[in-house]
Every structure is written in C-alpha cells, then in structure tokens.
Structure 1
C-alpha cells in the first residue's frame, strides 16, 4: 500500500509549494501501477466553483483511466465535519459518472460524519464529538480508525459484487 496524502491539497487546492491531485499522478500513482486506487478529497476545494471542481475532477479521472485502464478506482466524497459539502460531493460524483472501473462511495449521503462537535468541543449531536479533532476539520485518532473501517467496508461491498 502506498499513500499520497498531502495536507491542504485537493483537486484544485494546492498552496505553494504543494501540488494538486492531477499534478501528483505521474510521480505518486502511475509508476506503482496499482490494482486498486482510492481517491479521497474535496474538502479543501470548498472555495472553488462547483463547475470548476467538476472539470478538474474529470481531468483527474480521465488521466487515471488512460494510464491505469485495469485499475479499480474508488472515489469518495469529501470528509464533511460541520457541513454536508454537497456541492463538492455532487461535482466529484458527476465527474465519476458511469466510467468503467470507477466506483463512487457517497460518504456524505451515508452520513459517515455527523454533528457539529469535535473532541475539544463536544455538542452531543453526532459522532463528530469523537471523530473530529480539536481543529474542527481533521479526523481525530479515533476518527482515522473509524474512517478506515468505513472505507474498507465500502470497498469490500463493491468487491463482493465481482
């Protein structure tokens, strides 16, 4: 397993000197020729218009499909503490469309993250009290474990259909 998570980046977001998703594919993904690829992002793209996000996500997925035609790709909507992030989810989901070998996992609709609290400021209105760190955005240690389990379950559910 190889991970290419870089903080503050996304499909469009890439504060200098970091690179957005598409600009990292040639070095961080394609050389490894993975059998399975999980793409998770979008929360850092909230400042961009939905149509711009959809266009960039489409370009990312086009590049992946071209360079990794036999890879099974799972695409997740954005982690969504405090907000459902439906604009970002909808743009990413639309970019996935009906592509062969691509599977969109709608963690937003499935409400993987709920509530408005976090570990430092619990609100007792959802699982954010446990799974969102004190910065209000990133997963807590327990949140990382929880999300890993949710992703694994979603991937297994699709793979069981093969």
Structure 2
C-alpha cells in the first residue's frame, strides 16, 4: 500500500492510501488475487483512519471507510505499448514491460489522483 500526505482546501493534512495503480496481467497474479488485495488494503486503511483510493475499482473511501465516489477502474484493457489490443487505455498507459506506466500513463494516473482528492474535498 502506498501512502501520501494530502493538503486539502482548509489547510488540514489527510493521509491517503492507495493500491498499485495499474493492473497486473491476470496470468501473473489472477483477477481474484488482485481483488482480494484491494479489499484487504481498503480494510487496513479504514482501520488506520486513512482515506483509500482504489485504482482497481475506481472507488474513493473516506478515512472512516465510507464510500465517497466510484468512477470505474483506472487502467482498462489487456494491451500495452508494443502489443496493443484496442480494448482499453492500457494500450497507451502501460509500457512495453507490461507492468509500469508510460509517461502518458503517469500523466493519466496523476489526473485520477487529483480527481479522487477533489471528491474527498467537495
């Protein structure tokens, strides 16, 4: 789980926790394993009083563990740069190693983090 301090509009600092933002090929860990990990991290964040953002489901949870918003998975499709499939944004957001974000992927992920923070401060 990754954590970061986020300063919200009133100057207060809130810790934010998130799972890894990109999907790992189902053949390497399996979809159920990824879902289980996401749920485990969400529960741990709530127990610690941390905000949780799930890139897997696109859900944003308050520090009390309450669902604030859901906007769908951050990375979709099964492609990557160099092996596009036309099934989602992974074609341009995931690099040739099939794991790490491209520069465009980092930009996209940053925009999703900003949107999640805005949900929490609305």
Paired with 1:87 and 1:99, the residues of 2 have a C-alpha distance of 18
Paired with 2:25 and 2:88, the residues of 1 have a C-alpha distance of 10
Paired with 2:83 and 2:14, the residues of 1 have a C-alpha distance of 39
Deviating above 6 A after TM superposition, structure 1's stretches of 4 or more consecutive aligned residues are: none
TM-score, length of structure 2 as denominator length: 0.68
Which sections of structure 1, spanning at least 5 residues, go unmatched?
1-10, 12-20, 38-69
Q: What residue number does 2:25 align with?
A: 82
Equivalence map 1:13-162=2 (5 Å):
36=6, 71-79=13-21, 80-83=23-26, 84=31, 85-97=34-46, 99-100=48-49, 102-110=50-58, 111-160=73-122
Rg (Cα) greater in structure: 1
Higher strand proportion (structure 1 or 2): 2
RMSD of aligned C-alpha atoms? Answer: 2.5
TM-score, length of structure 1 as denominator length: 0.53
Aligned length: 97
Query: 1:97 aligns to what SS in structure 2?
Result: helix
Provide, for residues 9-38 of structure 1, a one-character-per-residue CA deviation record: whole Å limited to 9, x for no partner: xx5xxxxxxxxx7xxx9xxx8xxxx5x28x
